[in-house]
Amino acid sequence: MEERVTETQVLIIGGGITGTALVRELSKYKVDVCLVEKEPAVGFGISKGTQGVLHGGLSLFSSRLVKWFDRSIDVATYIKTPLHLKEKFNIIGRPIFLELESKLNVKIKKTGIIQFAYDKAEMRAFEIIKEKAEELGFTDIVLLDRNQIRDLEPGIDMSKRVGGIYDPNDYVIVVPEWCMAFADNAKQNGAHVLVNTEVTGIEEKKGYWLVKTNNGPIKAEFVINAAGVHSDEIAAMVEKIDWAYVLFDHTFFVLENKGYLKHMIFEMPVPFEPCLMIPTPDGNILGGVTMYQHKIEEKNDFLTTRQGLEHIIKIPESFIPDVPWRKAIMRSFRAYLMFNTRDMDDMLLYWPRERFLNMITCAPGIAPSAGLALEVVKMLRDKGLDLTEKSDFNPYREDPRGFIDLPTEIKNAKIEANPAYGHIVCRCEKGTEQEVRNAVRAGARTLDEVKFRVRTGMGRCQGGFCTSRVLQIMSEEMGVSPLEIKLKGGNSYILKQETKELRAKGEAV
């Protein structure tokens, strides 16, 4: 099933939200486009650990507050500075996501956002934000007092919080799902998406780029660097870069949501520690600190720590004290946000070479990806790439899951035609055998990718019931023994060997 691509017109390096949004956009045109991703699936890099917020009027500016609000700078002045590139693209990009929800069959959850103030100074800063947001067309933002907040979210402890600001129009997605949706749709429309393909070197040739990968070299007219946290390494392959990445980490709990929270809630009681609780599209809550001030050195350091977990559980406990959060823990993870040292406020978008484009993204980067995609198409056209629209572009992608939520008649018709839909293999999330098969047919080769497509393994039991069954189905569809199936990238094989193998060989460990 793995195709070989040796030549393309536009080569995108990186299958995160930025790269996949772009490959889908380019697949609307009669141009040969190829995306390479080093992990076994798109969305498995830094996109995997993001909180998934599609920022809007309020949260866009909250992002500004997050980074710079140490209460010593003049907030009013800072808020009124011109929009950054990433903010511009965010404003363009978010409506595109909203429009694509039904076309690509990926979930978006409308959560709104409430941000809390601990003192009058913060309330004043909120007023300035509200003004600025209104200038940009976000007119539904309101300031709230204690009682109004209690009406919206009765569980929140308002004893130390004096009030807040509320934007009903904020949204949350699960980013890897969107990466997969973008990539699937791009593939439907003729784009190439190669996973397990890592760029090892780039050479400038006369009239083209030679991009070396672990699966052979690819000739490309244009190269787009959308490699997320590795984009500095890719950029360094063609130029001496004068910037580096600074990484800020966050640790989050995935918590059960038994009606505890409806809206996204956010505050920064301690400078540089923005606390967040997000109701997710899958019915859970993400709770934690969105970025720590301290920097982490190792790009692959996704380790949670005891101190980190002990610190983070206090966030939901402080927001909503009456819920036994410690008993509602489903999972915890750690990931990070990145910023570049040339401009800590913004992303970088520039051509270090003719026909080599750097998309050096930063946080927030999700909604901007759709806006950036449009911009890059323009930029490519300006550089002379002939982009004629396809008349037969198909913007629709089938729902990879959600079988269980269909009306009974449709369910039963599908089961009648295909009994594998009637076999539920995931007790917690109700994923069916056929949906697992479909996921493999759409390209999933790892348990994690099946998890993001079908939600098997994402529920309360975290794979206790479904793992055995999903491995069996994947093994059948992939035509390999379950011993060859991995959890995610690298060496993450799930099983070691057959029972009896050691004894039959007369060996023991």
Sign of CA dihedral 211, 217, 221, 223: negative
CA pair distance 288, 308, nearest whole angstrom? 10
Tokens coding 189: 């429309």
Residue pair 325/335 in contact (Cβ under 8 Å)? The answer is no
* Site size with another protein, rule: CB under 8 A: 66
Which residue lies nearer to another protein by CB, 272 or 465?
Answer: 465
Which residue lies nearer to another protein by CB, 137 or 324?
Answer: 324
Q: Give yes or no for residue 489 binding another protein (CB under 8 A).
A: yes
Which residue lies nearer to another protein by CB, 154 or 419?
Answer: 419
Q: Give yes or no for residue 305 binding another protein (CB under 8 A).
A: yes
Residue 424: burial class (beta carbons within 10 Å; 0-12, 13-18, 19+): middle
Q: Give yes or no for residue 237 binding another protein (CB under 8 A).
A: no
Q: Give yes or no for residue 402 binding another protein (CB under 8 A).
A: no
Q: Give yes or no for residue 411 binding another protein (CB under 8 A).
A: yes
Which residue lies nearer to another protein by CB, 113 or 312?
Answer: 312
Piece of 59-67, 285-293, 372-380, 501-509 that binds another protein (CB under 8 A): 501-509
Q: Which of 500, 427, 439 is nearest to 468 (CA)?
A: 427
Q: Which residues of 478-496 are buried (b: 16+ CB within 10 A; e: fewer)?
A: beeebeebbbbbeeeebee
**Residue 78 beta carbon to another protein: minimum distance, rounded to whole angstroms:** 36
Q: Which of 131, 66, 76 is nearest to 345 (CA)?
A: 66
Piece of 98-106, 222-230, 349-357, 408-416 that binds another protein (CB under 8 A): 408-416
**Residue 109 beta carbon to another protein: minimum distance, rounded to whole angstroms:** 21
- Residue 462: how many CB atoms within 10 A of its CB? 15
Q: Is the peptide bond prior to 364 cis by the omega test (within 30 degrees of 0)?
A: yes
Q: Give yes or no for residue 308 binding another protein (CB under 8 A).
A: yes
Residue 282: burial class (beta carbons within 10 Å; 0-12, 13-18, 19+): middle
CA pair distance 449, 426, nearest whole angstrom? 15
Which of 151, 242, 297, 310 is the binder for another protein (CB under 8 A)? Answer: 310
Q: Which of 257, 253, 281, 339 is nearest to 49 (CA)?
A: 253
Q: Give yes or no for residue 259 binding another protein (CB under 8 A).
A: no
CA pair distance 200, 213, nearest whole angstrom? 5
Piece of 26-34, 62-70, 372-380, 423-431 that binds another protein (CB under 8 A): 423-431
Which residue lies nearer to another protein by CB, 215 or 472?
Answer: 472
Q: Give yes or no for residue 296 binding another protein (CB under 8 A).
A: no
**Helix 466-478, helix 447-454: angle, nearest 10:** 110
Which residue lies nearer to another protein by CB, 388 or 499?
Answer: 499
Piece of 117-125, 136-144, 325-333, 349-357 that binds another protein (CB under 8 A): 325-333
**Residue 498 beta carbon to another protein: minimum distance, rounded to whole angstroms:** 6
Q: Give yes or no for residue 283 binding another protein (CB under 8 A).
A: no
> For binding to another protein (CB under 8 A), which residues are involved?
253, 300, 302-306, 308-310, 313, 326, 329-333, 404, 408, 411-412, 415-416, 419-424, 427, 430, 460-465, 467-468, 471-472, 482-483, 486-504, 506-509
